[in-house]
């Protein structure tokens, strides 16, 4: 992307998106074959990650309700119980990150596998 003249911010966003999409592919497929492509077009850059898995890709969940937390403070783990601790877990935030960084993203499923793409 540097050779294409893409700005540093877009390159950093692409690196994070690739990391999240490949991580999801590794976690949700039983095969070792995962392909990642970065394509350049006049409209921008498209990241594509393909795997043989056909499991449904979940939509990004809305962030947990944090209205009860004081601004700038996170509760101590000892103060949290059960479900409250789950809201702060790092797992499951990858698609939220992709959704925030990409102009748009989506999935396509076929008998041969699943493609997840993101446009920058």
Domain ranges in the chain are: 8-62+93-119
DSSP code of residue 42: T
pLDDT top residue among 54 and 82: 54
Instruction: Give the CATH fold of the 8-62+93-119 domain.
Output: Heat Shock Protein 90 (3.30.565)
Least confident of 39-43, 58-62, 102-106: 58-62
* pLDDT at 76 > cutoff 70: no
Single pTM value for the model:
0.70
């Amino acid at each position: 992307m540097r050779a294409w003249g893409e700005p540093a911010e877009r390159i950093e966003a692409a690196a994070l998106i690739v990391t999240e999409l490949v991580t999801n592919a590794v976690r949700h497929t039983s095969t070792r074959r995962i392909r990642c492509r970065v394509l350049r077009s006049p409209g921008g850059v498209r990241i594509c990650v393909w795997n043989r898995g056909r499991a449904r890709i979940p939509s990004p969940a809305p962030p947990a309700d944090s209205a009860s937390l004081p601004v700038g403070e996170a509760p101590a783990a000892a103060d949290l119980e059960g479900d409250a601790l789950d809201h702060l877990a790092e797992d499951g935030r990858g698609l939220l990150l992709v959704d925030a960084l990409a102009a748009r993203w989506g999935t396509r499923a076929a008998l041969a596998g699943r493609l997840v793409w993101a446009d920058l």
